[in-house]
Every structure is written in C-alpha cells, then in structure tokens.
C-alpha cells in the first residue's frame, strides 16, 4: 500500500465516510462496510479529497485530455481534482460536467465547462454495478469523445452480473482502465496493520467469499 492510500483510508474513517457495520446496498447485498463520499462535506474535506484523487491519477499515469464529473456526485469531485492537479502537480487540465435536465434557453445543452472532447477521464465516487458509468458513456459517445479512464475513490472488488467484478465489466465493455485511490484489499490490509478489527475483517472476508472476485 502506498502512503497516500493509507492516508486516504485514515481520512475516510476519520470523516465517517468509511464505516463498518451492516448496510444494505443498491444491489440488495448486505455489506459489512459502506463508503459514503457525501460525508466529505466541508471545504477542507474537499480540498484534501481532490489531492487524493490527483495523486492516484498521476500515480496511474493514464493520459487524458479532459476531466468529466457526472451529475451529481461527480461534479464536486471532478472540480476539486482539477484544482489539485493545478495546485499540487502544475497541470492545468480542462474539466466539465453534465446537468441532469437539459437546458432549453440561454447557452442550452446539458454540458457545462470545457467541451467534452478528446480522451475523457471520468471521475466518480464508487462503482458497484456500473449503472451510473453506463449512463455517462452514452453522453461521451454522443460527443464523439473517447473514454480514456475512470477514476474512483474505492474499488469494492465485488462481482457484477457475472463472474467478473463490476469494474472489470466496465473495463471490458468500454475498453478502458479503472483507477481507484484504494481497493477493498487495501482497506483490509489497513485494518490488519492497525489491529483490533478482527470482527470487521472476518465479516469482510465472509462477504468476499459470497460476492468477491
């Protein structure tokens, strides 16, 4: 695990974003942990969050032309990542986001910010089944842009519809790379390092036996 990954897990736990217990997911699965990125909800949190996304992106070394944050949760994430790339990595990268409702007056359309063109890096919080990503792909294809990669905070490393993980399905279906700041395996390694989390680790291991890849 890299230093920024350990720091990110610590940050997510401290802010109550990463929690252990019993949670029902969108898929109906009962999960022993949950990642609620909406709880990164202050200016300081967002500034820090952007630096973690930017670090993961630079570390992965995937080339792209524009950052795209799908509405709604992707919008602040793409914005803060763009700021962190400029501030901490001297990379002034264009970014854009979509509206859920298309505007019929004024500038019209449903895209805001830089044009969505060239190689797109899509930025979001979590992929579970990949529903949100599939919706954004339609938009990217409409603009004749191409998807260079997807950048998320946490890879839950669980099965999608078949034997592959939802993330592997996205990578296969869209011929792209999914970059995550951390994966579930990193969370487990962190808990092991810290000690005193045996019940959480056991519950995660059982969950991974059922739904993991």
Which candidate in 2, 89, 105, 161 is catalytic?
Answer: 105
Binding site, by residue number, is 26, 34-35, 72-73, 99-100, 103, 105, 124-132, 156
2 given a catalytic annotation: no
Among candidate residues 2, 19, 48, 103, the one labeled active-site is 103
> Which residues are documented as binding site for 5-phospho-alpha-D-ribose 1-diphosphate?
26, 72-73, 99-100, 103, 105, 124-132
Shortest distance in whole angstroms from residue 205 CB to ligand OMP: 17
Among 54, 93, 120, 127, binds ligand OMP (CB under 6 A): 127
Q: Find, among 176, 66, 68, the residue nearest to 118 by Cα.
A: 66
Q: Is 34 among the residues that bind ligand OMP (CB under 6 A)?
A: yes
26 near ligand OMP, judged by CB under 6 A: yes
Q: Are 27 and 128 in contact (CB under 8 A)?
A: yes
Residue 128 is a binding residue for ligand OMP (CB under 6 A): yes
Q: Whose Cβ is closer to ligand OMP: residue 55's or residue 125's? A: 125
Q: Does 103 bind ligand OMP (CB under 6 A)?
A: no
Q: Catalytic positions, please?
A: 103, 105
Which residues of this chain interact with ligand OMP, rule CB under 6 A? 25-27, 34-36, 125-132
């Amino acid at each position: 695990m890299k230093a920024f990954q350990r720091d990110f897990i610590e940050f997510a736990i401290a802010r109550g974003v990463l929690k252990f217990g019993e949670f029902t997911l969108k898929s109906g699965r009962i999960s022993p942990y949950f990642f609620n990125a909406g709880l990164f909800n202050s200016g300081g949190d967002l500034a820090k969050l952007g630096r973690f996304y930017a670090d993961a992106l630079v570390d992965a070394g995937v080339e792209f032309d524009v950052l795209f944050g799908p509405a709604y949760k992707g919008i602040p994430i793409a914005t803060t990542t763009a700021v962190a790339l400029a501030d901490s990595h001297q990379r002034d990268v264009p970014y854009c986001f979509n509206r859920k409702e298309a505007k019929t007056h004024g500038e019209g359309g449903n895209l805001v910010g830089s044009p969505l063109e060239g190689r797109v890096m899509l930025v979001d919080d979590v992929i579970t089944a990949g529903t949100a990503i599939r919706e954004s792909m339609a938009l990217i294809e409409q603009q004749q842009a191409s998807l260079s990669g997807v950048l998320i905070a946490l890879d839950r490393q669980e099965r999608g519809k078949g034997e592959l993980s939802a993330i592997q399905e996205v990578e296969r279906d869209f011929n792209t790379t999914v970059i995550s700041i951390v994966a579930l395996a990193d969370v487990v390694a962190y808990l092991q390092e810290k000690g005193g989390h045996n019940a959480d680790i056991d519950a995660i291991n059982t969950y991974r036996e059922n739904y993991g890849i």
